[in-house]
Amino acid sequence: MTRLVLSTCFAAFTLLAVPAIATAAPANACALLSEAEAGKLAGAPLAETAKHDVKPAAENGNDSESSCGHFPKGYHIDTADGPPNSGVLVELHVFPAADDAKRFYDGVLRMHTQMQGGPGGGSVVMPVKGLGEGAYLLPTVLPNSTSKISTMTFLKGSVVASIQVWTKTGSADAIARGAAAQVLPRLH
């Protein structure tokens, strides 16, 4: 459910990007953070991997999207009734040019800023230094849930990256920062 919300929000802003020439091969989100690395960051075994890729096309603003989520054994994000006990989802949007990525990023930031104080009242965009251009955290509180959720979003050249973390123990913000610190230098 949460992935659906995040992906739907990103998809809505994909259409804002100006179509351009085709981009290079899409980045592979699963190559940027392994199952073992995600599990170590989350402090829990994450045995299920969910992958999703969308090829660039004029209809999606030439956005080459790749996502990779790591979740506890038996948890399937597409069919789950609620958030996982722990999980790390890396989502990349690769555009033909940095200007296209910046427009997309600006739209996502606007949306996240407008969501502040929404359901649960705890969502506040928090700028983060040293983890990519314009990096920010968006902690989210879901009504009737004990899961802590945080999303780190940042820009690097023609790539917009988002790392969403779920945890019932520990700090979702710290896990998201740790994942971003591993993902950022692996982006090219």
| Per-residue pLDDT reduced to its tens digit, 66-78 | 999 999 999 998 8
2 CB contacts (<8 Å, ≥6 apart)? 77, 83, 142, 149, 164, 166
> Is it the case that residue 23 has pLDDT exceeding 60?
no
- DSSP-derived letter for residue 35 is H
Can you give the pLDDT at residue 117? 64
Residue 147 or 165, more confident: 165
> Is it the case that residue 181 has pLDDT exceeding 50?
yes
Share of the chain above pLDDT 70, in %: 82
Answer for the pair 133, 155: CB distance below 8 angstroms, yes or no.
yes
CA-CA-CA-CA torsion for 11, 149, 116, 179, nearest 10 degrees? -70
Residue 86's SS3 state is strand
Report d(CA 145, CA 148) in Å as an integer: 8
